[in-house]
Amino acid sequence: MCEIALHPPRRPVLPNPKARTIQMPARDGALLRAWLFLPEKSNGDAVLILHGIADSRGSEVGFAGMFLDRGYTVLAPDSRAQGESGGMFETYGLQEGDDLHRWVSWLIADQHPRRVFGLGESLGGAILIQSLVVEPRFAAIVAECSFSSLDRLARDRVAERLPLPQNFGRLLGAPVVWMAFLYARLRYGLDLRTASPEAAIAQSTTPVLLIHGLKDAKTPPMHSEILAAANRRCAKLWLVPGAGHTGAYGAAPREFEERVFAFLETYQNLPSGIQVREK
């Protein structure tokens, strides 16, 4: 169970002539790759968009177009051990937070945006939230269908496979998850218990828009509700009727764009903190 979680399948990345391919070394030496998209007419801001598990930056082309149409510079990285990025395994935010910190530094140095925003789907959203501990230069972020903690999500996934009521299944699944986490710590030195967007958002001052489909069968909406409750001052929650996992745009495309851009534009006219935070 643990090996499958740490080594999800890779999705191939097809060439995209509209993007510039960027590569950058991570702290552990893994070579990370991303696409950079430049708008025809820039609004001066940039956004990082992050894919979910067992996926690649290729799946974010649609969101890239949505931001490009509004003048944003877009950076779409492959998460470590996903797509074309290197790395031994997926760590669910433990190492990816520093990866994002490096991408933000690269983006600021290369493109000089006024502000940097972020949008992440599923695991991408969870990673984005966890990165706020080491990366305070995001002006605001949007996270769709993030988990609140890997421990809670893992117990949910085990419970799904048991022919029992969900709460009882989570209880019985706890020892299985504990053993998997112990295996990861003993073999790879990864303490997956600390993969917790809930803990990260609680100590952050970065504005966060949480989006979650009410019909999400993979990551229950409860996870985003927990995240919103962890920091009511900075987090806003939109629960989307009829939407499955990362399906908010498909269920309500016009409202999705209106809510996301209204949220980001709230912070576009504030004084940029990039230079202060960079120091």
Domain spans of the chain?
2-149+195-278
Q: Answer whether 203's CB lies under 8 Å from 134's CB.
A: no
Task: Summarize pLDDT for 228-251 with one digit per residue, the tens.
Answer: 999 999 999 999 999 999 999 999
pLDDT at 59 exceeding the cut of 50 = yes
Q: For residues 132 and 138, what is the distance between their CA atoms, to the nearest angstrom?
A: 8
Distances (CA, A) of 236 to 129, 233, 243, 255, 256: 13, 8, 18, 15, 14
pLDDT at 272: 61
The mean pLDDT value for 75-90 works out to 97
Tell me how crowded residue 262 is: count the other CB atoms within 10 A of its CB. Answer: 10
Which of these, 133, 277, 131, 147, lies nearest to 203 by C-alpha position? Answer: 133
Question: In the structure, what pLDDT confidence band is assigned to residue 270 with cuts at 50, 70 and 90?
Answer: low
260, 210, 259: which is closest to 234 by C-alpha?
210
Exposure on the CB side of residue 201, measured as CA atoms within 13 A: 34
Q: How many residues does the chain have?
A: 279
CATH annotation of 2-149+195-278: 3.40.50.1820
Average pLDDT, the chain: 94
What confidence score (pLDDT) does residue 162 get?
78
| Confidence band of 278 (pLDDT split at 50, 70, 90) | very low
DSSP string, 100-118: HHHHHHHHHHHH--S-EEE
The pLDDT value recorded for residue 277 is 41
The strand order across the sheet containing 208-213 reads 20-25, 31-37, 73-77, 46-50, 116-121, 138-144, 208-213, 235-240
Residues in CB range of 38: below 8 A, 6 or more apart = 20, 73
Q: What is the pLDDT of residue 273?
A: 54
CA distances to 41, 196, 212, 226, 255 from 94, in Å? 36, 9, 23, 20, 33
Residues 67 and 262: their CA atoms lie apart, in Å, by 13
- Please give the C-alpha separations between residue 109 and each of 103, 104, 105, 114, in angstroms, as whole numbers: 10, 9, 6, 12
